[in-house]
C-alpha cells in the first residue's frame, strides 16, 4: 500500500538537489528514513511526497532496510532510522492533490 510523507520546508533545497541528481543520472535512487516501519508498504509500492501544500511527486520503493544508516552522496549527510526506503522511478503528480504537512507517514487516501 502506498504511503505519503511530507518534505519539511527546511529540506526543500536539499530535496531539489537530490532530485536534480537523480534526473541527471548522477544518483540512481533516493532514500527516505522513517522512525516507524510502515507495515502495509511493500516493494513496488510508491512513496508520495507532499511539498508546497500538495502532493508533488512519487517514487517506487525497490528496497526496505530496517535499523540501518545511509549517507547521501549529494548532500553528504548521514541518516538513520527504524526503516530506510530506497526508491527510483520518479514521477511528478499531474493532478493537484492538496495536503497539509504532517510528521511521519500516512497511507495514501485518494
pTM (predicted TM-score): 0.92
Task: Provide the pLDDT for residue 15.
Answer: 93
Q: Which three cell numbers stand for residue 23?
A: 534526473
- Radius of gyration for the chain, computed over Cα atoms and rounded to the nearest angstrom: 13
Query: Which residue segments constitute the domains of the chain, with CATH numbers given?
Result: 3-107 (3.10.400)
Q: What is the pLDDT along the chain (110 residues), one digit of tens a residue?
A: 999 999 999 999 999 999 998 888 765 679 999 999 999 999 999 999 999 999 999 999 999 999 999 998 888 899 999 999 999 999 999 999 999 999 999 999 99
Q: Which three cell numbers stand for residue 65?
A: 532496510
Amino acid at each position: 500500500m502506498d504511503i505519503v510523507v511530507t518534505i519539511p520546508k527546511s529540506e526543500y533545497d536539499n530535496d531539489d538537489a537530490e532530485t536534480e541528481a537523480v534526473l541527471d543520472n548522477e544518483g540512481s535512487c533516493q532514500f527516505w528514513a522513517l522512525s516507524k516501519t510502515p507495515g502495509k508498504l511493500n516493494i513496488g509500492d510508491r512513496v508520495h511526497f507532499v511539498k508546497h501544500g500538495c502532493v508533488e511527486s512519487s517514487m517506487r520503493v525497490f528496497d526496505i532496510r530496517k535499523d540501518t544508516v545511509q549517507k547521501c552522496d549529494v548532500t553528504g549527510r548521514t541518516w538513520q532510522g527504524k526503516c530506510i526506503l530506497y526508491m527510483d522511478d520518479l514521477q511528478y503528480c499531474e493532478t493537484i492533490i492538496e495536503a497539509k504537512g504532517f510528521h511521519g507517514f500516512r497511507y495514501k487516501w485518494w
